[in-house]
Amino acid sequence: MDEFEQAWYAARYNPFYYLGYALPPCTVLLGALSRSKVLFWLASAASVGCTFVVVCIAIQYKWELRAYAAQTDEQMEAVAMNDTGNLAFAPIIAGFQALTLTGVCAIPGAAFLRFLQQKPRSRPMSNADDLSTNQRPDDGNPYQPPS
């Protein structure tokens, strides 16, 4: 494998590529930890926008790395033929990825938000729960220590 082929495959997984996948879960989790529905949905919307931008940057950066590694006319033609379509459809690809990843993260994030917003249930106190008396209820258990 020559240097151009190595650069070709290495450019696919650039730092922006990974950031595009890490951004939605992190922003949705931060929104859920805020315990506010408004902040959760604002974080989800911000996640869609930021992921869209980061994925577009990842596609552009991949093309730039490949174009920089091309040294011959044949290699430059390979870059132009294979990556031009990718660049042309970058907004569609990035939009789909941003909406899909944020949607997949927002469903469990909304459930986690509801879990965090739950208040502890208060149950009516019975005589057995009354701690002011030092007596234990007699349930007929012979192994219960005496009070």
Q: How many domains does the chain have?
A: 1
Residue 43 domain flag: yes
Report the predicted TM-score, pTM, of the whole model to 2 decimal places.
Answer: 0.73
Residue 86 domain flag: yes
- Say what the pLDDT of residue 147 is: 61
pLDDT in tens, 41-80: 999 999 999 999 999 999 999 888 888 888 888 888 888 8
Separation of alpha carbons 105 and 122, rounded Å: 32
Residue 136 domain flag: no
Residue 86: give the domain boundaries: 3-116
8 A C-beta contact, residue 87 and residue 60: yes
Residue 68 domain flag: yes
